[in-house]
Every structure is written in C-alpha cells, then in structure tokens.
Structure 1
Amino acid sequence: MRASAKMAALAGLCTLMACAASAGERGADGKNHGRARDAVQLGPRPFYLVQDMDEGELKDALEQCTSGPFYKSDFSISHRGAPLQFPEHTREGYEAAARMGAGILECDVSFTADRELVCRHSQCDLHTTTDILAKPELAAKCSEPFSPAEFDPISGERIKTASAQCCTSDITLQEFRTLRGKMEASNPDASTVAQYLDGTPDWRTDLYSGSGTLMTHAESIALFKQLGVKMTPELKAPSVAMPYQGDYTQQAYAQQMIDEYKAAGVGPREVFPQSFNLDDVLFWQQADPLYGRQAVYLDGRVDDPAFEPSLEDFQNLAAQGVRIVAPPIFALVRLDESGRIAPSDYAIYARLAGLDIIAWSFERAGPIENLVEEGRQYYYQSVSEAMNKDGDMYEVLDVLGRDIGVLGVFSDWPASVSYYANCMKL
C-alpha cells in the first residue's frame, strides 16, 4: 500500500453516501454490478492502457479483468459527455459515455438571452465548440466578431492571435437549437473563419463532429433518465453581470437549475449539483436541502499558488454543510520520498474532516509522452515527473480509487475509468 501513515487513519472511514452507494450497487453474488443490468461496451482503449503499464501488481490485477463482464458504475463520471472523441455536451457524446459505463453524466449549465438553460461548458464558448461563426446571421450577434490573426510581414511571427467570443447569452434558445456541436478547439493562426474552426488537436478526432446535437438542460435530463444514469449538472459562472436583464439573480439561476429536475420528476438522490461558487452550494443546501445534500463544491482554490490545505480549512467547509469537494487530480496526489505517487495533504485532510471527494478529469490531458514539454501537464502537474506513458494514468487512478477512496472520477473517455472501477469493484 502506497498510502502514508496518515492515510492509515482513514482505513475505517466510510461516509454514509459512499457506503450506501456501495451496498446498493452489489448484486446477489456480491459483485458490483452498478445500477444497469446490461453489460457495457468499453472498446479497445482501456486494454491499451493496461498493456502500456509497467510490470507490477497493479498491472497484474487489471489484466485479470480483461474478459469482463463490465457494468455501469457510479465511480465512472462522464465529463462533458465523451469529448476525447465526441463534441462535448452533445447527445452523441452523452450516449457514447453511457455505453462506456458511466453511471453519472454531466451537463454544464449556462443560459441563453431568453434565460433558458442549455448544456455548455462555458457561457462564452460557442465560437470554439459550435459552428456559430459559420452562420453569418448568428455570428453577427456574437459579443466579439471573428478577428483574423496578424503576422509581422518581415519575420512572419504572429503578432495577434485569431479571436472571437460568442456566448449563449448572445442568442435565444430558438437560435441555439440551430447550432451543431464541434470538437472544442480553435486555430490561433487562422485568417478565415473556416481555418479558425479547424483547430482540433491531432490526438483527438473530427470523425464524429458532423452531427453534434446540442441540448438544453431539460433535454439532457430526459435523455439521462432514458439512459438510466444519475446526473451532475454544473452551474457555470455567468459571463454577464448579474442580476441579468434587471431581475435574473444568481440565486434565481441556481434555483431554476434545480427546478428543472423537480419538473422532470428526478429525485434528489439522482442529482449531484456542482459549482465553483461556494455560495451556490450553500444556497442549494438552504433552499432545497434534499437536493443540496449531494451538492459538490468544485474547489478552484488549488489553482492559487498561495493556497495551503489544512485540516482546519476542511473542517470549516464541513461545518458550513459541504459534504463533497471536487478538485482537479493534481491536488489529490503527490510524489513521496521514493518518487512514487501517493495521496496529497489535500486528500488526507479532506478525508479526515469527513468529506467525500470527486476528482477531475481523467483522459483530459491527451498523450502522456512529452506531457511537460508540450505544456499539457495541468491535471498531473504534481506527479508528472513520474509519468512518461499513457499506462501511468492507471497508477494515478489507483491512488485515487483505493488509497484515497474518492467517490468517483470524471473522465473525457469514461470507458477507461469504467474498466478500473469494475475490476477493483469500486
């Protein structure tokens, strides 16, 4: 066991939610079958990751599971659908995530000019995630129109990046429905709209970008019910001043999101509302205690170099009613004295304070080789020195899953986490 001595104190820790979920998902044979009875389809990637691992006990254990069967698991949380290969927050991406065993699917929630809720990672990302710039009548409504890159005529050096900004609040719901999703990307060297929209990294694909069906928040709820999964909506920070249009307050926005679950008949145990804004989490707990009980505080404080986790800090969060914290992966792991991946102080103190943890986001960084050199090390920045190939991601996941005991892990390709969760019976 790689856990530190302090982690040993956590051996008996099992929160009410985690224990109930574990008990409720085990079948008569004692195995974790999730909540779905039909085996899921993982595809080749998890098996590639296992084969790519260093020889050792973890690889041996994961190799024992190659024949399956595999089932849906709440430990496997879909991050924006399946955006490693599908346009994010689209019907096609959500359906792919469910087929890959994700037991919980995410809709990031933003609002349109007529204050309707839609699934977008950011209120102002339409220029990089949809074809809005290719529709002149809608592109004209963007907050900032497309501006081409500029280059020094002598050196050829780029002196101005191509840019645009198109927000959900720039258009109505009816106009939003005419858009198609594309892979999140833009070309900073573009001189035309077509070039700007054609910026997908070579480790992703545009193979499934031709039919990215955008969704409203209510439509995502209906789809998730049909797919038999739980739901984790993230209330996105508005890019416009609030109150919006005079009377649309932050609390009205937060309540509107919860009300759409009530209207659809989705019970509070099926919903994990998320926000980077602690006030949103506290509001849900006060205004709708049943739905607020599973509210997730997305902890962006870890991006501040001055932030130092402490037991007192997490105890204060718990005292305010926070039950689940969700930081990026790098905040939960570190390299120990021998250079091996181990739980971080953040993970240790959060668990000692009785908090549950969700981590994000697996399969978001792209190929691990040359991670640091290419500047993609964000999610693994605390342990990137110990990682040099894709299979090393399972070493990190194992620390999250077994040493720390996180509730679940967001992933851009849920099959990879679903494989691990089934194999380790999490």
Structure 2
Amino acid sequence: MNRRGIVKKISTARLAGMAVTVGVIIAASAVMASAGGYFVTDPVALPPNTTDDNRYFSGKANDQYDGHGYFDNHGHKKNDPGIQLGPRPFYLVEGMDEGKLKERLMSCQNGPFYRTDFSIAHRGAALQFPEHTKEARAAGARMGAGIVECDVTFTKDGELVCRHDECDLHTTTNIVATELNNQCSVPWSGPGSKPRCCTSDITLAEFKTLTGKMDASNPSATTAEGFLGGTRNWRTDLYTGRGTLLTHKESIQQNLELGVKFTPELKAANPDHQDRIKAIFGSQENYAQKMIDEYKMAGVNPKDVFAQSFTKEDILYWIQNEPRFGRQAVYLDSIDPTVTPPIPRISLDELKQLRKQGVKIIAPPLFALLALDSNDEIVPSQYAKDIKGLGFDIITWTFERSDLRKGSAAAGFYYLFDPQGKAVKKDSDMYKALDVLARQVGILGIFSDWPATVTYYANCMGLR
C-alpha cells in the first residue's frame, strides 16, 4: 500500500467545497485507576488543562470489534518466545524526551511481548524486506503483528497475487532484467526510459519466476541490473537475497501457518486497464467475489478477515453479498491534499450515508487523524472526532513508512499534520503520535512497515 495510487480514480463529487479539517481535542471524561496514573477504559479525550503526562493506560482498550472479540491478543498475556522485536523499538524509546510516556515505555523493556491485532504488518515488513514476499510477511509476524496484509491484484490468466499495484513489477521485482521485460506494457529500454510492468502483462507461471526486491529504481542506470537499484539510504538491501513472490492463495496458507489474521486489499486496475478486469473476470463484482471465495475455499473464519478497498462499491458489494465478510470490511479513505486537485476528507453527509449502508470501519491515513493544538502538542483532528462521533471504528496507515531521523518537516505525506516539525522533531517522537492515535483517537489498529515498533507500544500499554 502506498494507498495514494488510487487517487486519480476518486469521484470528483467529493472535491467540491470540502477540505481537510483540523482541530484541538474536545473535553471529555477520563477514568483514573491507579496511583501511577494509568487507567483502563475506552480511549477518551483530554479534559481541559490536563497534561498528556497524566494519562496512560493498560488493559482492554480497543480489545474488541463489534462485541465479538475480533481484535484480540491471540491468547497471550505472557511472553511469547516466538515474538522477536529486535533493537529498533528499544532504540526509539531510549531516544524519547523525558516524561511519563517514555517512563512507561522504558518500564516494558523486559516484556512480556506477544502477538497483537493492534499491530498490522503493512506489506509484511517493508521497511527492510522486499514487500509482499514470503520472507517479509514472516518477518512481520515474528515482530508480533496479529494481522498480515496482502494487496490483491491479478495476472493475465486471472490468478490473484500479492502486489501493491497492478503495475509496479518494474520497481518491486527483477522483471526488467529478465526476458519478461519484453512483455511489459512499456519495457525498460535504457537510461531515462519509464518502464511499466504489470501483473496483468504476464501469466501466473511467469509471475512466479520473478524475485521480489525493495521498491525502488534508478532511472539513469545504463543497464537493466542498474535500474533495479535506487533503494533509499534509510532502508536497506540487506534482505534482498531471497524475495519469494506469493499468490493470494499462498498468502492465505502462510497466514494460517503463522497463526495470524488476514487483511487483503482488493486493488483497482490501473485506469487504462478496466477492460482487462472485464475481459478476465467479467465484471468488477466477480473480481471482488473471487478474492472472498479464496478465503471460503481455504476454510478461513470470516471474523479473521478484514477485507479492504478504496472503492466504495467493493465494500458495499461485500456487505450485501458476503455479509459475514462485509460486516468488518475496511473502507480505505483516499484523502490527499498533495495531489491536483486535492482529494478532501469524507464529508459528514457521506459518513452518515456510509453508516446507513452498513460500513463499520473507516481507514484514513494517519495524518488525517491528527493535528497540533496551540501549544504544538499532538491531538486528534476534527476529522477523527467526526468519524468516531458517528460510531465508526478506525484503522490507520502507515507507521514506519517515513524517514523521521530529522523529524516530520521533511517526512512527507504521513506527517502532514506537522509540516514544520514542531511536535515530531526526531524519529523517537513517532511514539507521541502513536500514543494519541491509540488513546485519544481510539484506533483499532495501525499498519506499519516495521511491526515491532507498534507491537512494543501495544504490549506495553496492554492493547490487544
């Protein structure tokens, strides 16, 4: 998921007269439980003149979905030796400014660490592993993610595979350095060329011959092998020795073996490839149904599947035709003020209509849920309050997908709520944002390119 790839397909009906709205957190009650200042309750707003230092919790916040325990801690309250967080969360916590949040997180350095649905593996562990590969997904699960994602697109012969985008093979695999380059919609042809290689250009058998790599390219390269480079210096190629591509069916089997839940995102075809959807599947509805059918054929419990789409019609189709899956389908929010024209927030009227249509979970990018108050402290945005106020649950994206070594000023899309770096001044400050999302916005979970960072926080705070 760089979920922004869908923005060109969004209806212009959402563009008129709407804008991203931010605001400070409104007053609400807090339930304090111990002398240490921790409480067990649903996330609530800060009372007037209350400092963030006084509000930390443990226990059952966000432990269920729809009263059925869909979000849980997989039976763990004690340390799970299969969960390995590595040094990064500890590095980030140690770099935090002194205060109650750091004190709380420092107190958890010895665990217990266990799997949690609050931690969602975004494309596996895409910060350092080639995305949507077997290896990346296993790494995400080892880092405690209770839910592991597969972005679902399709091959020329109608098989579903895990790729972020129908047409990203030229940056996420080695295709341009193979004979399959000649089958790309636009082959790599030399320095300055702009290849475009799509899953729908090749068959499943051909797809399975490719190797995953870090999502990057070097457009000025003089060789195809050179074009495969370009990985950003805050990521790594250390784990590119193996990059096993997966079908959607194989991802289901892997999740079952790993003991984690499922969040497939049905990817839209590229705008000029709608004819391929019709030619291969007959209709968009058939495409959406095929994804669900593969879970049914594998005997997966629908309550363990959080199907996603940026396309409202997909969500409504599942609600109406596969209600056991549709009841917790995740409507991805395409809000993006950086494109031309900007994609605005979902209006209040639209949100109300979505509720009537049976949508229960909205998933905006994390920047849309946060704002800065007059003291440059991170607080829930007005948009977040509007969504929660109408009774929706929220999942958000994407943590650990930005270079925060010098703060949010140059971090881009996910930190647009703090474009000058007034609150997020360094990488360790990402935990301040996560803390507000968890405790004040009340999100169900968050996608992360490095799940260990989120797992550490969730385990420390007792989130399931």
Distance (Å, rounded) in 2 between the aligned partners of 1:148 and 1:393 = 40
1:411 pairs with 443, 448, 453, which one?
A: 448
**What secondary structure, in the 3-state scheme, does the structure 1 residue paired with 2:102 have?**
helix
Pick one of 302, 308, 311 that aligns with 1:277: 311
Partner of 1:139: 181
Letter in 2 for 1:5: I
Asked if 1:241 is matched to 2:274, the reply is yes
Moved more, 224-233 or 9-18: 9-18
Which one of the candidate residues 21, 26, 35 is aligned to 1:5? 26
- How far residue 245 of structure 1 moved from its aligned partner, in angstroms, is 1.9
- Aligned equivalent of 1:103: 146
Match of 1:168 in 2: 199
Q: Is the 8 A contact 1:7 1:348 kept in 2?
A: no
- Stretches of structure 1 lacking an aligned partner (at least 5 in a row): 150-160
Tell me if structure 2 keeps the 8 A contact 1:181–1:213: yes
Task: Specify the alignment match of 2:296 in structure 1.
Answer: 262
Shift of 1:389: 0.7
CA distance in 1, matches of 2:121, 2:174: 23
Q: CA RMSD in A?
A: 2.4
Counterpart position of 1:155: none
Among 301, 305, 330, the residue aligned to 1:296: 330
In the aligned structure 1, how far is the partner of 2:335 from the partner of 2:439? 25
Change (3 A) 1:6 1:235: farther
Provide the secondary structure at the position in 1 that maps to 2:241: helix
Match of 1:153 in 2: none
Closer, same or farther: CA 25–85 of 1 in aligned 2, 3 Å: closer
Write out per-residue CA displacement over residues 338-365 of structure 1, whole angstroms, 9 at most, x where no aligned residue.
Answer: 1100000111010010000001000001
Distance (whole Å) between structure 2 residues aligned to residue 184 and residue 51 of structure 1 = 30
| Structure-2-length-normalised TM-score | 0.83
Identify if the C-alpha distance between structure 1 residues 126 and 319 changes in structure 2 by more than 3 Å, giving closer, same or farther: same
2:356 maps to 1:319: yes
Question: 1:23 deviation in Å?
Answer: 8.6
Residue 202 (structure 1) shift: 1.0
- 1:11-410 pair list within 5 angstroms: 11=44, 17=65, 20-21=68-69, 25=73, 33=77, 38-136=81-179, 138-149=180-191, 161-239=192-270, 240-242=273-275, 243-245=277-279, 248-303=282-337, 305=342, 307-308=344-345, 310-369=347-406, 371-373=408-410, 376-384=411-419, 385=421, 386-410=423-447
Paired amino acid for 1:182: K
Q: Structure 1 residues 419, 24: CA separation in 2 closer, same or farther (over 3 Å shift)?
A: closer
Which runs of 5 or more residues in structure 2 are unaligned?
A: 1-22, 31-42, 46-60
Distance in 1 separating the partners of 2:458 and 2:286: 37
How many aligned residue pairs are there?
Answer: 406
Quote the Cα distance in structure 2 between the aligned partners of 1:119 and 1:372: 33
Partners in 2 of 1:276 and 1:22 — Cα distance? 22
Q: Distance in 1 between matches of 2:346 and 2:322?
A: 29
Cα distance change, pair 8–325 in 1 and its aligned pair in 2 (3 A): farther
**TM-score when scaled to structure 1?**
0.90
1:232–1:273 contact (8 Å) kept in structure 2:
yes
Equivalent residue of 1:211, what SS?
A: coil
CA distance in 1, matches of 2:257, 2:238: 26
Asked if structure 1 preserves the Cα contact closer than 8 Å seen for 2:71 and 2:118, the reply is no
The alpha carbon displacement at 1:321 in A equals 1.0
Report the Cα offset of residue 78 of structure 1. 0.3
